[in-house]
């Protein structure tokens, strides 16, 4: 009888330890997603701070391209609003518009030799391009973290703990269809 009791207690303890391990892994995954989003947020804030400097530099040269500059600033505001609201889907859509606006801005800048030669413009263009590349890398890391989290909270036996303790799936940062297609270079220069 004592052996049966020890086996039963050992089984219960093993199940509890296994449950704790699952819980701890789910918590780690949840925080990985949060950390990945925070990394994107830092880069978005850096770009948010750099864009007005770029636009101001361009305004000095591009008197007749006000519409292009306004579109960049409107897209910047949309990204900022989506980030503040924590709406991952809206961030993806606003990011697509901002990237399109920046592409148009850099293409229009080709028509202004003095602007292209301006050291401040070149520095800001390089800085924003670097931030864009970093944001793309962080997006990939965020989506990978979110995907791992989402898969784990749906797998058995993790789902038993995830549902009982309120673990939620993370939204993927998706892109507009326009960002997935090739850029029409001819249209950028019109």
Q: Which domains does the chain have, with CATH numbers?
A: 2-188 (1.20.1440.20)
SS3 per-residue string spanning 69-133: HHHHHHHHHHHHHHHHHCCHHHHHHHHHHHHHHHHHHHHHHCCCHHHHHCHHHHHHHHHHHHHHH
Q: Taking all residues of the chain, what is their mean pLDDT, rounded to a whole number?
A: 80
What pLDDT shows up at residue 148? Answer: 92
pTM over cut 0.75: no
Least confident interval from 58-67, 83-92, 113-122, 140-149: 58-67
Length of the chain: 190
Judge contact between 109 and 55, C-beta under 8 A: no
Spatial CA neighbour of 122 closest among 31, 24, 54, 52: 54
Q: What token pair was written down for 131?
A: 């931030």
2-53, pLDDT tens digit by residue? 899 889 999 999 999 999 999 999 999 999 999 998 888 888 888 878 777 7
Least confident interval from 18-22, 67-71, 81-85, 148-152: 67-71
């Amino acid at each position: 009888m004592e052996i049966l009791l020890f086996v039963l207690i050992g089984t219960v303890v093993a199940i509890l330890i296994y449950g704790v391990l699952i819980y701890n892994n789910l918590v780690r995954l949840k925080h990985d997603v949060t950390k990945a989003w925070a990394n994107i947020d830092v880069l978005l804030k850096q770009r948010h701070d750099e864009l007005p400097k770029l636009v101001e530099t361009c305004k000095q040269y591009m008197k007749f391209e006000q519409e292009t500059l306004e579109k960049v600033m409107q897209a910047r505001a949309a990204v900022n609003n989506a980030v503040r609201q924590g709406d991952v889907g809206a961030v993806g859509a606003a990011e697509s518009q901002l990237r399109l606006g920046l592409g148009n801005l850099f293409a229009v800048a080709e028509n202004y030799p003095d602007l292209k030669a301006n050291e401040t413009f070149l520095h800001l263009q390089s800085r924003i391009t670097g931030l864009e590349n970093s944001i793309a890398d962080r997006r990939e890391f965020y989506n990978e973290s979110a995907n791992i989290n989402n898969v784990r909270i749906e797998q058995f036996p993790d789902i038993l703990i995830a549902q009982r303790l309120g673990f939620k799936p993370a939204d993927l940062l998706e892109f507009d269809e326009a960002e997935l297609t090739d850029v029409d270079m001819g249209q950028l220069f019109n």
